[in-house]
Amino acid sequence: MRRREQWLEHAAAAVADAEIVVLDPDNGLLPPSARMYGLRGPKYATLDECRRFADGGRRSLVVYQHVHRRGTAEAQAREQLRRLAEAVGVAPTRYFALLFHRGTARAYLVAPAAVHAALLRRRAEALVAGPWGQEGHFSLVR
């Protein structure tokens, strides 16, 4: 078994009772142009890994996503949310992203389980409506 599969088995066991899992890969979701076992592979989370941690949409998932210089941050977040929803097999209407604009732009992709969807969205909206959003540090992408 390769190291990555061993890591995944241990990580999945460690979060078995968790309601929310946060993945913080260096760069976010593995793009189609990169290979999991290539040089850049360890910098990403794969869609299969996200599917495993989301547990069929029964567990909420938050994934860090690096924003690159091609296209707007909003468009990139929407595309990654689409990919994540398709991989996990849950309707994308619950999914949203929080974009952080201070310094290097980055996104936090939120794939809430049904039980958490309303609460996580309310809290994200409150964050954006408060000082962090008013000062332009965070915005919400649906």
Residue ranges of domains in the chain: 3-141
**pTM to 2 decimals?**
0.94
Interatomic CA distance for residues 12 and 15, integer angstroms: 5
Name the CA dihedral angle for 121, 125, 128, 130, rounded to a multiple of 10 degrees: -130
Interatomic CA distance for residues 52 and 57, integer angstroms: 10
Give ∠ CA 13-18-21 in degrees, rounded to 5.
90
The amino acid at residue 2 is: R
Confidence of residue 28 (pLDDT cuts 50, 70, 90): very high
Closest Cα to residue 99, out of 132, 122, 69?
132
Q: Read off the pLDDT of residues 57-105 as tens digits, 9 standing for 90 and up.
A: 899 999 999 998 889 999 999 999 999 999 988 777 889 999 999 888 9
